[in-house]
Amino acid sequence: MQINIKNELLIINILSIILILIVSFFPDIRSLRLILGLPLIFFFPGYTLTTAFYPRVSDLNTIERISLSFGLSIAVVALIGLILNYAWEISLYPILTSLVILTAVMSAFSWYKRRGLIHEEKLCLSIDLSFLKLDNSNKLDRVLFSIMIIAIIGAICTLGYYIANPKVDDAFTEFYILGPDGMAEDYPNEIALGEEGEVILGITNHERETMGYNVEILVEGALVNKIGPIELDHGKNWEEMIGFAPQQLGKLQKTEFRLYKIHKLGNQTEGHTQLSLWIGSETLIAKIVNQGQEEVSYQINVTDNRDQATGTQEAGPVTLVSGKEWTQEFEFATFEIVPLQLQFSLYKGETIIYEENIAGDYSKLHLWIDVKKS
């Protein structure tokens, strides 16, 4: 059986446009994205390049043309990725745009070169399935071709599986300090008493969710600056010049930068109450919004469950009319190396409508500075 495909360049470009529309307006249809995306990566670019340089049907046989299309596509995608890494960025839309434009340009070039050919020489993509019948002639070629097709299909299916079920990397936050010039050097190591040292503080969120952060700067255990909360979406970066002023004279004073992850919890509870929690260093911030139509009375109880200190702090009751909000901050004692371990309870009237155990988390960076007289 032989399959003849005419105007295959038009079909390729229509499928590319459909893929753009699906990615832009129907991103949740993963199956269609996968079905159309794999050919765009592994076949379309190489095929249009092959037809541009070998437009005659007699230039290459079907096996050579298909094999060259797969090979060129892989090479072209790798080259585009390298160029995007330096010129733009490697992400969905830059890669998709680059491949679609390349495919369209090569298709136009191929169509132009075909115009001058006689009808018999014009390329018509033909797939002769009878080739797979193993008679005595060219038996080895047929076996090798069958193995190649099976290998290509297996590779595409394997890649499709890993794209559809990506391995989830460990979530983490990148926390760093740079010198005033934005380099990992020239950190302040000598400061006059009463003056400020300056560093560039940087945070990058790789937690796969929106996170908040608090930063505390301590010199010899004394808090000298506090920054936050800083809210970052996944993959976003924050950098800012931060100052800190030592409070006493001395050499090799330990300057500690503590980063506290703030888990922001947004919850809809009964009665249209919206709750957001921010847990930072030794602080818990609760924000409550009454989204109902009636006045509501709220009360908060927060219990510190760490071994060094136990006790409950209460706030409220506070009455909120519709659309009003209440923000309450709770502060707790600082214990070295021991982050917060709290039990949070929100009351609506006398009924608990939300309760959760919350733990803080933080990372540390250090500098050692000499503090001299001004």
Structure confidence by residue, pLDDT tens digits, 324-367: 988 888 887 766 556 667 888 888 888 888 887 776 655 666 66
Residue 140 pLDDT > 80: no
Q: Which residues pair with 273 in a beta bridge?
A: 269, 290
Q: Which residues pair with 122 in a beta bridge?
A: 56
Percentage of the chain beyond pLDDT 90 is 7
Residue 116 pLDDT > 80: no
Of 113 and 160, the one with more pLDDT? 113
Task: Say what the pLDDT of residue 241 is.
Answer: 92
Mean pLDDT score of the chain? 79
How large is the average pLDDT for residues 132-159? Answer: 66
Percentage of the chain beyond pLDDT 70 is 79
Residue 162 pLDDT > 70: no
Q: pLDDT tier at 81 (50, 70, 90 boundaries)?
A: confident
| Domains along the sequence of the chain with CATH | 2-164 (no CATH), 172-262+364-372 (2.60.40.10), 265-362 (2.60.40.10)
Least confident of 24-28, 40-44, 131-135, 367-371: 131-135
Q: Is this structure's pTM higher than 0.75? A: no
Task: Say what the pLDDT of residue 254 is.
Answer: 86
Structure confidence by residue, pLDDT tens digits, 299-327: 999 888 776 666 788 998 999 898 898 88
Q: pLDDT tier at 3 (50, 70, 90 boundaries)?
A: low
Residue 265 pLDDT > 60: no
Structure confidence by residue, pLDDT tens digits, 215-231: 888 888 888 888 877 88
